[in-house]
Structure 1
């Protein structure tokens, strides 16, 4: 067992362990609300609250299962396609927001405590909020190390060698995914820098909105550059694992986050509920999220096909 495998195994167990408190907290919320022992979250009815938290229980259970699959022997026997897809979506959700978590914490600490509370519920104690935050951060950090180690162990040829070593990928792969991803990223970075074109409600923008727009804009550009490099095999002599890992994380970010935001944006555009609004123009936001989902999926397909020739890995 080499250093990669040892690090990946420790990280996988750590990721699974980090999410256990979140799972238990969510189970207690559902059970407590059904038994009348805990209040439901502000703005929710009991049924909606139970359904929402039951869904997050399922997501947490799936996350723990994926983490264990990356380290246990049975994980090597699981069909590759569903495991890769679940891991890709999971890392796309968690890993790219780690910079936002760090930057947000630093800026909040510099500005002092905020007066607003969590929208999870009227009586959630601080220790629960801390455990939830630790769970997401721990899962994200764990997957960031465990998943590349697992992929390298199961499909070593995809990460071996360097770009241009006889495995430049297929020149028939269209460049539109990288171009669309870069265009979406530039729009998000423009908004993060304070641009107002396409923003319907500038007053609704806050620090978190600017940070998230900037973080996801950067990841979109990283995904476009990395997937282009992995598929085209350039710049030559760069270790192949670098664009593969960065392309994986960036494309997952595009697909997962925009796939989650797109239905919510469409709901706001169609139903126009009172008291709920986004800063950006809803039609433009929906177009951007749809483009991001398509580009992210196309990048994943390109990365899967961009393998070196067998002779180049010997």
Structure 2
């Protein structure tokens, strides 16, 4: 933990620098530039200009939020922020950026190990754009992950190490069981897609999201049934990361088709996959509730007052 605290300035600088390429591209595209967009791309269709301006502006603000989060996790004023105000956007950022990092590493390993060529596709963006953007996202994930670990350890480390009381009521255990049951839906769907049963998704992303579902369900079940004990920290991290990934990407894939934005040349998701994405969002929210229940501060039980003996 001390090493992470010493690394915070460097991690903050890495987060800020890794945002620059993406934000620069978004500013260029929002202002009408066509850098990195090949001729014939659906992004250049006249009817898509308004929608793409809105999408570029929104995603530019999202990446600017990474800058604010990095500063909040580093500067003293960040420790005075109310916990929900900081943890809610960090949860979303973890869910969006973490799978990008893992799927990028896995995709690179598969390409190098098996000499797997890139699949053919319609012109959408120049290849270097994806390299620059996903490298930046991966560095943001690493930087924010380190900053978050240092921040949580400094601000709430004692509470997390102490754990909570074992749940006596059935509510927490039922929430944990519900999270595990719901996580089985995206786990099965993404594992099948990753193994080639649906071929419309890339293998790395599907494998990562299947692992996220497994992590979220198992972590929530572990915390709900036994808040204390060994591997508690790993269960908290697994539940946080897995649930955030499911909710963030499920919400993203449900939202994008509604915008009618030309962000992909593929057809929109089927009804079955829409239900899967909805299950992802619900699973993520339920696991977040489990996390909140087992990490919230619990008041010490009041001790009964000792009777006062009459003085003779």
After TM superposition, the score normalised by the length of structure 2 is 0.79
1:270-281 alignment runs, 5 A limit: 276-277=266-267
Residues 149-170 of structure 1, C-alpha deviations (whole Å, 9 max, x = no match): 2122222244214x6xx63356
Query: 1:68 corresponds to which residue?
Result: 71
Indicate if the aligned counterparts of 1:180 and 1:295 stay in contact, CA closer than 8 A.
yes
Query: 1:199 corresponds to which residue?
Result: none
Indicate if the aligned counterparts of 1:148 and 1:245 stay in contact, CA closer than 8 A.
no
Shift of 1:193: 1.9
For 1:112 and 1:176, how far apart are their aligned partners in 2? 39
Matched, 1:5 2:29: no
Shift of 1:106: 2.4
Worse overlay, 138-147 or 182-191? 182-191
Residues 17-49 of structure 1, C-alpha deviations (whole Å, 9 max, x = no match): 211222122212222439x9x889821333233
Distance change in 2, residues 1:225/1:95 (3 Å): same
Q: What stretches of structure 2 of length at least 5 have no aligned partner?
A: 301-312
Indicate if the aligned counterparts of 2:185 and 2:279 stay in contact, CA closer than 8 A.
no
Query: 1:272 corresponds to which residue?
Result: none
1:226-305 alignment runs, 5 A limit: 226-233=219-226, 237-264=229-256, 276-277=266-267, 282-305=270-293
Q: Pairwise CA RMSD of aligned residues?
A: 3.1
The 3-state SS of whatever aligns with 1:160 is helix
Shift of 1:250: 0.5
The 3-state SS of whatever aligns with 1:33 is coil
1:14-93 alignment runs, 5 A limit: 14-33=14-33, 42-44=41-43, 45=46, 46-93=49-96
Shift of 1:56: 1.6
Distance change in 2, residues 1:276/1:97 (3 Å): closer
Shift of 1:212: 1.6
After TM superposition, the score normalised by the length of structure 1 is 0.79
Distance change in 2, residues 1:299/1:30 (3 Å): same
Distance change in 2, residues 1:188/1:118 (3 Å): same
Shift of 1:115: 7.2
Indicate if the aligned counterparts of 1:13 and 1:68 stay in contact, CA closer than 8 A.
no
For 2:137 and 2:10, how far apart are their aligned partners in 1? 17
Q: What stretches of structure 1 of length at least 5 have no aligned partner?
A: 196-201, 269-274
Distance change in 2, residues 1:283/1:117 (3 Å): closer
Number of aligned residue pairs: give it: 286
Higher gyration radius (CA): 2
For 1:283 and 1:267, how far apart are their aligned partners in 2? 17
Shift of 1:265: 5.6
The 3-state SS of whatever aligns with 2:165 is coil
Residues 277-304 of structure 1, C-alpha deviations (whole Å, 9 max, x = no match): 25x7x12111111111111111111101
Indicate if the aligned counterparts of 1:168 and 1:230 stay in contact, CA closer than 8 A.
no
1:165-244 alignment runs, 5 A limit: 167-169=165-167, 171=169, 172-173=171-172, 174=174, 175-195=177-197, 202=198, 205=199, 209-233=202-226, 237-244=229-236
Indicate if the aligned counterparts of 1:40 and 1:49 stay in contact, CA closer than 8 A.
no
